[in-house]
Amino acid sequence: MKKLTGPKIVTPSVPGPKAQALFEKHVKNTPTGMSRVLPTFVAQGDGALFEDVDGNVFLDFAAGISVLNVGYSNPEVVQAVKDQADKFFHTMVNCVLYEQYTELASRLNDIVPIPGEKKTLFLNSGAEANENAIKIARKYTKKTDVIVFAGAFHGRTLLTMSLTSKIKPYKLGFGPFAPGVHRIDFPYCYRCPWGQCKETCKTFCATRLEEFFVEYAAPEDVAAVFIEPVQGEGGFILPPNEYLTELRRVCDKYGIILIADEIQTAMCRTGKMFACDHWPVKPDLVTIAKSIGAGIPISAVTGKSEIMDAPQTGGIGGTFSGNPIAAAAALKVLEIMERDNYESKARHVGEIVMARLTKMQEKYSVIGDVRGIGAMMAAEFVKDRNTKEPAKEIVDEIVKNCWKKGLLVLSAGARGNVLRFLMPLVITDDQLNEGFDILDSVIAEVCN
Ligand code: PLP
């Protein structure tokens, strides 16, 4: 594996000539509905860097949306995948069992923060894990409906798209949606949906939970509440601890399954193996995907055994679910993360990111809010700090100007006015600071 240094842009503009030709071919052959942030093509990766086909080296503050927590082409994961590929690729676990599936399930059951006996089911994508979590919750509770939040992202399949909040681009023209989905406002303190002020509100949002059952949904119909411990696509928003405690109380009172969608937050991203490790209460089911396979598709639902055992045999699963190569990669990822203390790596990255963002917030009035936990940080851009009018155009320009200088950074938020930071956790301090130097200079250019 080639060691990369950078970021450095060696072509007169991005995309360079090879990437430009490939991009034209790509656009001709693939649907417009697939968004493309960076119009270049990766040739190889190394840690937090990747080189494109023209020899430009980019610093990656996106990590495939928190998939590459152990970095691009982590050599130990590469070896685990090669070793497994030498033995066998596939059996379909329903036809012939293999140890890797069982071992990975047992490892997750040991570490997912749910009390008591647990079981794990493997799937392929985040959306598929969420779909299955709903099937399991419905079967167990013998109820049908689901409560989700404004700003939520749970996937793009019909059922998970119905759970997802943002209309454009995720839902426009794709309806009708799955029935029985109820949406409640998310406790978004910077823009409190109830017009409250964090300092004086006494967690007013928590009182809305019981109220919701009066006006919008009967708890006798509700099988599950789905919550992201940190809203990802929604703009990296953390619910207050008091809210989570009340949510747990309400779920217990009405026999509702509390599902934590940890697809973006798990695998040490927030400074703990799971974001729920920070919670004062615990969920009943957790869905996991993205970084667990370090780029090999695999997802999971882990939950209390009595809930997980509710579906009839044959009712859950799938051809590729828990594929042996993906399971071998995931076992190696867990081993590396525990051995090398990735939780503290994430906290260290987060401290540097928070310090740099706070300094930028002092310098640039367009940065209205800086927030996050561990290495899941964001800055929300506004046209005016008093009106908080979202500044999506500024964020779009920053994103574009960053990649022209070799830094990949992504936007987020229902209004597209949030810059989110999800760098690989193996990033070095020098790389981090170099990335923020680029970002700082770009914000100065865009805002002056
Ligand atoms: N849930 C959350 C919180 C996510 O961030 C995502 C993807 O970004 C999903 C679900 C969907 O995962 P996938 O794209 O693997 O289906």
Pairing label, strands 367-373, 299-304: unpaired
pTM: 0.97
Q: What are the tokens at 94?
A: 């329903």
pLDDT digits (tens, 9 = 90+) for 368-407: 999 999 999 999 999 999 999 999 999 999 999 999 999 9
The kind and range of the H/E element at 211 are: helix 204-215
pLDDT attached to residue 1: 77
First to last CA, the chain: 42
Give tens-digit pLDDT for 265-290.
999 999 999 999 999 999 999 999 99
- What's the CA-to-centroid distance between 209 and ligand 1, angstroms? 25
How far is residue 262's CA from residue 275's CA, in Å, rounded to a whole number? 7
Instruction: Give the mean model confidence (pLDDT) for residues 257-268.
Output: 98
Please say whether the beta carbons of 294 and 329 come within 8 A.
yes
CA of 261 to the centre of ligand 1 (A): 9
Burial 48-68 (b: 16+ CB within 10 A, else e): bbbbbbbebbbbbbbbbbbbb
Q: Answer whether 303's CB lies under 8 Å from 136's CB.
A: yes
Model confidence at 448: pLDDT above 90: no
* Pocket residues: Cβ below 6 A from ligand 1: 65, 125-127, 130, 153-155, 228, 232, 261, 263-264, 289
Mutational test site, ligand 1, from 148, 264, 292, max ligand atoms within 8 Å of CB: 264
Write the pLDDT tens digit of every residue in 138-160. Answer: 999 999 999 999 999 999 999 99
- Annotate 299-358 with DSSP letters as a single string: EEEEEEHHHHT-SPTTSS--TTTT-HHHHHHHHHHHHHHHHTTHHHHHHHHHHHHHHHHH
In degrees and rounded to multiples of 5, residue 442 shows phi and psi of -70, -45
Ligand 1 center from residue 298 Cα (angstroms): 12
What is the rounded CA–CA span in Å between residue 189 and residue 239? 8
* Beta pairing partners, 226: 259
Measured in angstroms, how far is the CA atom of residue 58 from the centroid of ligand 1? 24
The phi, psi pair for 120, rounded to 5°, reads -130, 135
Domain spanning 76-339: CATH 3.40.640.10:
yes
Closest atom of ligand 1 relative to the 155 alpha carbon: 11
CB 124 within 8 A of CB 298: yes
Name the residue ranges covered by the structural domains of the chain.
1-58, 76-339, 342-447
Mutation pick for ligand 1 pocket among 130, 231, 263 (CB with most ligand atoms within 8 Å):
263
| Mean local confidence (pLDDT), 181-187 | 97
Do domains 76-339 and 342-447 share one topology? The answer is no
Q: pLDDT digits over 110-142, tens only?
A: 999 999 999 999 999 999 999 999 999 999 999
> Of all protein residues, whose CA lies closest to atom 13 belonging to ligand 1?
126
What single letter denotes the amino acid at residue 219? P
- Nearest atom in ligand 1 to 290's CA: 15
Specify which residues 300 forms β-bridges with: 122, 288
Per-residue model confidence (pLDDT) at position 214: 92
Read off the pLDDT of each residue in 231-251 and give the average, rounded to a whole number: 97
Mean pLDDT of all residues in 320-331: 97
What per-residue confidence (pLDDT) applies to 122?
98
CB 113 within 8 A of CB 244: no
For residue 422, what are its two tokens?
A: 């999800």
Q: Whose structure tokens read 């798990």?
A: 266
Structure tokens given for 390: 């979202």
- Answer yes or no: are the C-beta atoms of 100 and 324 closer than 8 Å: yes
Residue at 348: amino acid letter: H
Burial letters for 194-224: b for 16+ Cβ neighbours within 10 Å, e otherwise?
eeeeeeebebebbebbeebbeeebebebbbb
Confidence of residue 186 (pLDDT cuts 50, 70, 90): very high
27-59 pLDDT, tens per residue? 999 999 999 989 999 999 999 999 999 999 999
Average pLDDT, the chain: 97
Q: What does the block give as tokens for 23?
A: 């991009």
| CATH fold label, 342-447 | Aspartate Aminotransferase, domain 1 (3.90.1150)
The greatest distance separating any two alpha carbons of the chain, rounded to the nearest whole angstrom, comes to 63
Amino acid identity, residue 417?
N
How far apart CA 401 and CA 410 sit, in angstroms, is 12
Residue 379 φ then ψ, to 5°:
-130, 130
Q: What does the DSSP 8-state code read for residue 178?
A: P
- Mutate which of 34, 35, 290 for ligand 1? The one with the most ligand atoms within 8 Å of its CB, which is 290
Instruction: Using alpha carbons, select from 231, 186, 237, 205 the residue that is nearest to residue 380.
Output: 237
| 155: phi then psi, degrees, rounded to nearest 5 | 135, 180
Distance of CA 246 to the CA centre of its chain: 24
Number of neighbours of residue 111 by Cβ within 10 angstroms: 15
CB under 8 Å, gap of 24 or more: what pairs does 21-29 form? 22/53
